[in-house]
Structure 1
Amino acid sequence: MVDVLVIGSGGAGLSAALAAKEAGASVLVIGKMYPTNSQTSMAQGGMNAALGNVNEDHVSLHIQDTVKSAHGLCDEDMVRQMCADAPQTVEWLERIGVPFSRLDNDKKGIGTVAQRQMGGASAKRACYAQDYTGLKILHTLYDTCLKEGIAFLDEHYLLNLIVPDDTIKGATFLDIRSGEIKQIDAKSVVIATGGYGSIYHGFTTNMYGATGDGVAAVLRAGGAVSDMEFIQFHPTALKHSCILISESARGEGGYLVNEAGERFVDELKPRDEVARAIFSQMKEGQRVFLDVRHLGEEKLMELLPQEMALCKMHEHVDPASDLIPIKPVAHYSMGGIDVDYALEVNGIKGCFAAGECSNAKVHGANRLGGNSLLEITTFGRFAGENAFKHAVYASSKPVDGTQRLKDEAEIKTLFAQEDSESFYTYREILGELFYEKVGIVRENGQLNEALEEVIAMQVAQKKMGISDKSRTNNQNLVEFLEFRNTLLLAPAIISAAIARDESRGAHFKVGFETENEAFRKHIVLQWKRETQ
């Protein structure tokens, strides 16, 4: 039995694993893909920390900006902890080798960490590594885990948590390569499986695998989820591919313009305001572009080399000389697994959650750009430390194989199930449905229509199955399981959006265009736990 089982091998999971290992725990990290493929690698712009290297800044200002962006739905104690820990987190990342971009202001040629402006920030606060910040952090964390001898099981898909008597005892997994169902016993568990943005399939910056697997597993196991209606739409994704163009492009001085070449919004306002401004232009029939031509090719190649390559590859435009066609798409899940001050899942003892899957109440109604990389490392480490503390006093008595046998029977049923209707078609329909009716601007009539359509899809799910009947390396099976998770979470998102009759941050509702003090609260959903 392992002390700390970490489910998810992105930035939050790796940070948790390192912290637990440093504390003296035996640690196993399990992921459905390889660590370097995680969503963390797609975070480009930077990581907030009030270092004051470029202009005057202070932790209190970082807290103030985060609280303001959250529109009253954050827990200020958690925000204060995250922001106060930020400088130490950057120092730790530097110490283990993250190559942050630097200012050329040191006689020894070393320089201090460079910082750039992000939307909603009152100072240049985001530490960055060109526009590969998340990638550099992820690779460094993974390298450090390997140096520390942390064990990994890659290509293992989370099926269910094992939760007898309200306390976590491990989890079950599908070994994707062999097709075997495995049970991993653990004294404590950290869930770091990422968000659920891929429910907006075809209209999101997220990878296909961001299907809320950990959130769905917690819900099935009797844990609580909260604020599921709050999904952030990033203002600048490439129009045709939905690939993210980082906020750093606007932070470095990029403009947003319509077809007439007019700037129509302050580019450095919070993301929800900028996204709605772009959406409004599109509703009027205007195409919208990001203009960075005035920055010059030399500066673009120095600061935004990845953005340059992505634009050329996917839109066939050269940002140094051409306008970049963009649109807002789903980007980040503010809601997720409901946790307490120790990041322990409400409803499941010994189970902790960190990163985008976790609702630690720091992002509220609208995440501040640059705070996601900060959260995954700061709270990832915090979750790992707390998981170890729980493991010290947890029972090492093995649990029976009831959940594993259930999962084996269910997977066997899926192989036998007729696939008269393709779930891939429904995945496309669900993505478009959510973008159109549970998107940037919402309306109760459309939300109710969306809920009815989702319920119809759940009924139709009985006719869906897998066409690939091979037991090994069956991606068709994995994608079906992922689709089932998104279909499970969809009503929770829509129901919470219907219940919130106001506009607050990323949730904007027609007919209720202002904030209502009566809704300054969290919408929490929890199922009755099945006996395991």
Structure 2
Amino acid sequence: MIDVLVIGSGGAGLSAALAAKEAGASVLVIGKMYPTNSQTSMAQGGMNAALGNVDEDHISLHIQDTIKSAHGLCDEDMVRQMCGDAPKTIEWLESIGVPFSRLDNSKEGIATISQRQMGGASAKRACYAQDYTGLKILHTLYDTCLKEGIDFMDEHYLLNLIVPEDTVKGATFLDIRTGEVKQIDAKSIVMATGGYGSIYHGFTTNMYGATGDGIATVLRAGGAVSDMEFIQFHPTALKHSCILVSESARGEGGYLVNEAGERFIDELKPRDEVARAIFAQMKEAQRVFLDVRHLGEEKLMELLPQEVELCKLHEHVDPASELIPIKPVAHYSMGGIDVDYALEVNGIKGCFAAGECSNAKVHGANRLGGNSLLEITAFGRFAGENAYKHSIYASSKPADDAQLQKDQKEIEAIFSKESSVNFYSSREALGNLFYEKVGIVRENGQLNEALQEVIAMQVSQQQMGISDKNKTNNQNLIEFLEFKNALLLAPTIISAAIARDESRGAHYKVGFEEENEDFKKHFVLQWKD
């Protein structure tokens, strides 16, 4: 039996795997895609740590900025742990070979790492690698896992956790390549499956597969979720493709302008404020642009080469000489699996969660730019260490195959069922519904309408199915399972948004435009028999 099973092979999962392996655990990392394809690769701008290499800075300022951005809806002890761990986390990443951009490229060590300013920060604090920061961290973590002999099972889709008597014993998976349903037994599990931004299908910077699979699985298994109403909208995505233009473009001096050429917001305010300012311009029929022309081509190619190529490829504009058309879209889910101080899932013993799928109470109502890469690495390692500690005392007796047999029957039923409703149309409709009625600005009437429409979709789901009946490499099946998970989570988001009659961070509600101390609390949801 495996000591630590890590589900998800992005930055949080790989960090957890390395920490558990270093502690002495047997480790298996299992994911529905290959590690280098994970969402971590899309994080561009940087990773916060109070090193003070460019501006005077201190861990206490990082803590203050994080709490302020979270609008008080965070656990200050967890924030202190994350921010306090940041310098040594950067030092660890530097030691395994992450190629951070430097003040002096002839030297190494964290004292020479260059830093840039992100929105909501009181200093230049984000360590970066041009605008490929997440990608380079991810590749380095993966290379290190391979060097350490950590085992991987790629292209395995998580179906369900095995949780007899409130303690996790393993999980079931669909082998995408063969179509076989498998059971993996483990003494402890780390969930690192990412967020649920792709519920906003067509209006998100996230990949299609970011449908909250792990969160839905934990909810089905009896675990708790919290703060599901808090979804961060990134201010600057390319208008037509929704591809992210990193906050680093504004951190390096880019302007936000309307079609009259007027700047209408301080570009380095927290993301929720900037996104609403852009949304207000759009409501007045104003097109909005990111202007980096004044930075010059040489500086753009030195600091933001990826942004330049993405703009040319997807918007057919050259940022060195043209305005970049942008719009705010769903980017990051602050809510997720509810965990305790050890990152253990509330309601499931031996199951830990880290990264965007986990609500460790550090981002609150609005994540501070630059804190996501920090969280997945620092807390990924923390979850891996704690999972190993649990495994030392856990029983090595395998679980029975009741969940395996149930999941095998359910997959067989999907193949045998004839469908009369196209779930791809429903997936697109769900994305439109959420962007329009559960979006940047919310209103109770529209939220209730959205809830009724989601309930209707859940009813019609009985008529949905797949057209591709091949057992092997069936992407149609995977996307159907992802849509089912998105549809399961959708009411948790809307219900929490309806209940929160205030405006706080990323949750802004018409008629309740101020923060209300009565709502300075976490909304926790859990299924009970």
State the TM bucket, normalised to the shorter chain. over 0.9
Aligned to 1:517: 517
Quick check: 2:228–2:335 contact (8 Å CA) kept in 1? Answer: yes
- Residues 293-352 of structure 1, C-alpha deviations (whole Å, 9 max, x = no match): 000000000000000000000000000000000000000000000000000000000000
* Stretch of structure 1 that moved more, 399-408 or 412-421: 412-421
Aligned to 2:439: 439
Aligned to 1:77: 77
Q: Count matched residues.
A: 529
Aligned counterparts, 1:316-335, within 5 A? 316-335=316-335
Task: State yes or no: 1:428 paired with 2:442.
Answer: no
Distance 1:58 1:328 in 2: 31
Distance 1:382 1:394 in 2: 18
Aligned to 1:411: 411
Aligned to 2:5: 5
Aligned to 1:253: 253
Aligned to 1:270: 270
Q: Which amino acid letter does the alignment assign opposite residue 470 of structure 1?
A: N
Q: Which amino acid letter does the alignment assign opposite residue 25 of structure 2?
A: A
Closer, same or farther in 2 for the Cα pair 1:467/1:105, shift >3 Å? Answer: closer
Distance 1:110 1:86 in 2: 11
Distance 1:406 1:107 in 2: 57
Aligned to 2:150: 150
Aligned to 1:64: 64
Quick check: 1:105–1:111 contact (8 Å CA) kept in 2? Answer: no
Aligned to 2:345: 345
Distance 2:126 2:405 in 1: 48
Distance 1:500 1:519 in 2: 7
Task: State yes or no: 1:171 paired with 2:171.
Answer: yes
Aligned counterparts, 1:210-221, within 5 A? 210-221=210-221
Report the RMSD for the aligned CA atoms in angstroms.
1.1
Quick check: 2:442–2:508 contact (8 Å CA) kept in 1? Answer: yes
Aligned counterparts, 1:228-377, within 5 A? 228-377=228-377
Per the TM alignment, residue 528 of structure 1 is displaced from its structure 2 partner at its CA by 1.4
Closer, same or farther in 2 for the Cα pair 1:260/1:362, shift >3 Å? Answer: same
Distance 2:238 2:55 in 1: 31
What's the TM-score, normalizing by structure 1?
Answer: 0.99
Aligned to 1:39: 39
Distance 1:265 1:172 in 2: 49
Per the TM alignment, residue 398 of structure 1 is displaced from its structure 2 partner at its CA by 1.1
Aligned to 2:463: 463
Distance 2:393 2:104 in 1: 50
Aligned to 2:113: 113
Q: Which amino acid letter does the alignment assign opposite residue 483 of structure 1?
A: F
Distance 1:382 1:399 in 2: 26
Q: Which amino acid letter does the alignment assign opposite residue 43 of structure 1?
A: A
Distance 1:258 1:419 in 2: 46
Moved over 6 A (4+): 105-111
Quick check: 1:187–1:391 contact (8 Å CA) kept in 2? Answer: yes
Q: Which amino acid letter does the alignment assign opposite residue 274 of structure 2?
A: V
Closer, same or farther in 2 for the Cα pair 1:418/1:301, shift >3 Å? Answer: same
Distance 1:471 1:290 in 2: 46
Per the TM alignment, residue 108 of structure 1 is displaced from its structure 2 partner at its CA by 8.9
- Residues 370-400 of structure 1, C-alpha deviations (whole Å, 9 max, x = no match): 0000000000000000000000000001110
Quick check: 1:117–1:252 contact (8 Å CA) kept in 2? Answer: yes
Closer, same or farther in 2 for the Cα pair 1:83/1:158, shift >3 Å? Answer: same
- Residues 481-514 of structure 1, C-alpha deviations (whole Å, 9 max, x = no match): 0000000000000000000000000000000000
Distance 1:447 1:149 in 2: 49
Q: Which amino acid letter does the alignment assign opposite residue 55 of structure 1?
A: D
Quick check: 2:442–2:510 contact (8 Å CA) kept in 1? Answer: yes
Q: Which amino acid letter does the alignment assign opposite residue 517 of structure 1?
A: E
- Secondary structure in 2 aligned to 1:377? helix
- Residues 264-301 of structure 1, C-alpha deviations (whole Å, 9 max, x = no match): 00000000000000000000000000000000000000
Quick check: 1:354–1:379 contact (8 Å CA) kept in 2? Answer: yes
Quick check: 2:39–2:207 contact (8 Å CA) kept in 1? Answer: yes
Closer, same or farther in 2 for the Cα pair 1:528/1:489, shift >3 Å? Answer: same
Distance 1:102 1:318 in 2: 27
Q: Which amino acid letter does the alignment assign opposite residue 514 of structure 2?
A: T
Distance 1:105 1:211 in 2: 40
Distance 1:47 1:492 in 2: 30
Closer, same or farther in 2 for the Cα pair 1:395/1:110, shift >3 Å? Answer: closer
Task: State yes or no: 1:161 paired with 2:158.
Answer: no
Quick check: 2:189–2:351 contact (8 Å CA) kept in 1? Answer: yes
Q: Which amino acid letter does the alignment assign opposite residue 265 of structure 2?
A: V
- Residues 219-244 of structure 1, C-alpha deviations (whole Å, 9 max, x = no match): 00000000000000000000000000
Aligned to 2:382: 382
- Secondary structure in 2 aligned to 1:397? coil
- Residues 205-228 of structure 1, C-alpha deviations (whole Å, 9 max, x = no match): 000000100000000000000000
Aligned counterparts, 1:437-516, within 5 A? 437-516=437-516
- Secondary structure in 1 aligned to 2:112? coil
Quick check: 2:160–2:171 contact (8 Å CA) kept in 1? Answer: yes
- Secondary structure in 2 aligned to 1:236? strand
Per the TM alignment, residue 31 of structure 1 is displaced from its structure 2 partner at its CA by 0.2
Per the TM alignment, residue 104 of structure 1 is displaced from its structure 2 partner at its CA by 2.5
Distance 1:266 1:109 in 2: 34
Closer, same or farther in 2 for the Cα pair 1:485/1:110, shift >3 Å? Answer: closer
Quick check: 1:67–1:76 contact (8 Å CA) kept in 2? Answer: yes
Distance 1:158 1:244 in 2: 27
Quick check: 1:116–1:124 contact (8 Å CA) kept in 2? Answer: yes
Closer, same or farther in 2 for the Cα pair 1:55/1:527, shift >3 Å? Answer: same
Quick check: 1:211–1:482 contact (8 Å CA) kept in 2? Answer: yes
Aligned to 2:89: 89
Quick check: 1:104–1:110 contact (8 Å CA) kept in 2? Answer: no
Q: Which amino acid letter does the alignment assign opposite residue 319 of structure 1?
A: P
Quick check: 2:91–2:110 contact (8 Å CA) kept in 1? Answer: no
Per the TM alignment, residue 109 of structure 1 is displaced from its structure 2 partner at its CA by 11
Distance 1:152 1:476 in 2: 24
Per the TM alignment, residue 419 of structure 1 is displaced from its structure 2 partner at its CA by 1.2
Q: Show structure 2 runs of 5+ residues with no match.
A: none
- Secondary structure in 2 aligned to 1:265? coil
Per the TM alignment, residue 105 of structure 1 is displaced from its structure 2 partner at its CA by 8.0
Quick check: 2:339–2:353 contact (8 Å CA) kept in 1? Answer: yes
Q: Which amino acid letter does the alignment assign opposite residue 372 of structure 2?
A: S
Distance 1:498 1:118 in 2: 31
- Secondary structure in 1 aligned to 2:99? coil
Closer, same or farther in 2 for the Cα pair 1:110/1:391, shift >3 Å? Answer: closer
Distance 1:55 1:437 in 2: 41
Quick check: 2:117–2:126 contact (8 Å CA) kept in 1? Answer: yes
Per the TM alignment, residue 404 of structure 1 is displaced from its structure 2 partner at its CA by 0.3
- Secondary structure in 2 aligned to 1:185? strand
- Secondary structure in 1 aligned to 2:301? helix
Per the TM alignment, residue 111 of structure 1 is displaced from its structure 2 partner at its CA by 7.4
* Stretch of structure 1 that moved more, 108-117 or 348-357: 108-117
Q: Which amino acid letter does the alignment assign opposite residue 87 of structure 1?
A: P
Quick check: 2:51–2:111 contact (8 Å CA) kept in 1? Answer: no
Quick check: 1:334–1:365 contact (8 Å CA) kept in 2? Answer: yes
